[in-house]
Copies of this chain bind each other. A is one copy, B any other.
């Protein structure tokens, strides 16, 4: 295995599960972000290192596909690596594996590096930060990228005012918190019909802040996906998302 693949062990702690007794998407999602950060840090392009150049990483897309979520007390590993560097984006992949090497799921993320002052993307092929290109690892994950999301509904299915507990250390609504907002639209399917969430696609288009009203619109899609758009009252799109269910 490439030395540029980071492997981070976890155990499903009590109070990190949803009502089914399996790891919640919030915990999984935040663990993925944490592993991304740890891995970048150990390769010289972590938060502190890029911040020294007045740059910051911004999550642009996240697709997570889980065959199964681990249960309370189960151990799992998050493996992560950088698979591609484009001019303005880089792909980071994840495998979520059990102790015996079997697969819980995979994830695919796309990140941009922005200038903190101008908020403009930095050319990733011309970085002062060392080690970035060297970290690229040629290993794929067997999941497809995010599909197109185009929500036609004009009637919000839910209205949420961004609040204190939505915020993370960056002072904006936490990227993974939007996954919860999206899943909460389908609480009935998840809870009463016992559907398992198999796949989530998130496209992050804008940030939102405390006190802002977020409107959630949803449409079913021909291909079985449920599409969601989270918009501000101005109409600005914050998140485009899609959810797929399977049998629990």
| A interface residues, Cβ below 8 angstroms from B | 13-21, 24, 26, 30-31, 33-34, 37, 72, 163-165, 167-171, 174, 176, 180, 183-184, 186-188, 190-191, 210-211
Contact = CB atoms under 8 A, between A and B. Distances in A.
Number of copies of this chain in the oligomer? 2
A20 B37 CA distance: 19
B37 A169 contact: no
Contacts of A37: 14
25 contacts: A15-B33, A15-B34, A15-B168, A15-B169, A16-B30, A17-B168, A18-B167, A19-B164, A19-B167, A19-B169, A20-B169, A21-B169, A24-B165, A163-B187, A164-B180, A164-B183, A164-B184, A164-B187, A164-B190, A164-B191, A165-B180, A165-B183, A165-B184, A167-B191, A188-B211
Nearest to A19: B167
A72 B168 CA distance: 12
